[in-house]
């Protein structure tokens, strides 16, 4: 067994990524404070062939060296759009036929493993602020909520970790 070199991995170029097929998933980073979390979200979105990232509120935007530090160039491959107000993005999303899902612990959230993904639907996944999570205002306008099961003493995960877990599960269920 040997570790593969970068040139042996067969990675796509930025142009190939932009032109290639994506899974029917977009994500929203709503008021995410850490630029490292933003960069990590871009890198993870690239890895799982996500269509687009929406950045809202105080969420930092490329170009920024702290985002680049963790994105490693993925901010150039993944399409993104910034909305100063989350409500204006929600209006746009609600006018579309996409399913808007918050990743949050609520009294009616579905466990991630039990969430049924319809391959004919397009999904927008809301990830919230590192301290407050997804706001009640956003949750009220979502089509549903999913949560990641957790079994220890902590009841939250870093937002970048949550993004990785959820996108992995979606890609698995979509047979990527």
Tokens for 65? 């060296």
Tokens for 29? 């980073």
The kind and range of the H/E element at 103 are: strand 99-103
Could you give the strand order of the β-sheet that contains 144-147, starting from the edge strand earlier in sequence?
Answer: 79-83, 50-56, 23-30, 123-127, 99-103, 144-147, 110-111
Q: What is residue 30's predicted lDDT score, i.e. its pLDDT?
A: 98
- pLDDT(176) > 80: no
What pLDDT digit, counting tens, does each position of 15-55 carry? 999 999 999 999 999 999 999 999 999 999 999 999 999 99
Q: What is residue 175's predicted lDDT score, i.e. its pLDDT?
A: 85
What pLDDT digit, counting tens, does each position of 98-156 carry? 999 999 999 999 999 999 999 999 999 999 999 999 999 999 999 999 999 999 999 89
Q: Is the distance from CB of 28 to CB of 124 less than 8 angstroms?
A: yes
Q: What is residue 101's predicted lDDT score, i.e. its pLDDT?
A: 98
The mean pLDDT of the chain is 96
Q: What is residue 84's predicted lDDT score, i.e. its pLDDT?
A: 98
What pLDDT digit, counting tens, does each position of 75-92 carry? 999 999 999 999 999 999
Please state the pTM of the whole predicted model.
0.95
Domain boundaries, the chain: 27-173
Tokens for 86? 């989350």
Q: What is the largest distance, in Å, between two alpha-carbon atoms of the chain?
A: 52
Q: What is residue 126's predicted lDDT score, i.e. its pLDDT?
A: 98
Which of the listed CATH numbers 2.60.40.10, 3.40.1280.10, 3.90.950.20, 3.40.50.1100 matches domain 27-173? 3.40.1280.10
> What's 79's DSSP letter?
E
């Amino acid at each position: 067994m040997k570790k593969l070199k970068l040139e042996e991995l067969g990675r796509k170029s930025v142009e190939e990524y932009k032109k290639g097929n994506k899974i029917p998933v977009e994500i929203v980073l709503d008021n995410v404070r850490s630029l490292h979390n933003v960069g990590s979200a871009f890198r993870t979105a690239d890895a799982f062939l996500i269509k687009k990232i929406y950045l809202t509120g105080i969420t930092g935007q490329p170009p920024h060296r702290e985002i680049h530090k963790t994105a490693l160039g993925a901010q150039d491959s993944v399409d993104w759009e910034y909305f100063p107000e989350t409500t204006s993005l929600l209006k746009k999303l609600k006018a579309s036929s996409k399913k808007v899902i918050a990743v949050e612990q609520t009294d009616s959230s579905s466990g991630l493993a039990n969430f049924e993904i319809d391959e004919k639907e397009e999904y927008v996944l809301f990830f919230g602020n590192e301290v407050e999570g997804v706001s009640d205002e956003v949750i009220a306008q979502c089509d549903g909520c999913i949560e990641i099961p957790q079994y220890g003493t902590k009841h939250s995960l870093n937002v970048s970790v949550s993004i990785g877990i959820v996108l992995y599960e979606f890609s698995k269920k979509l047979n990527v």
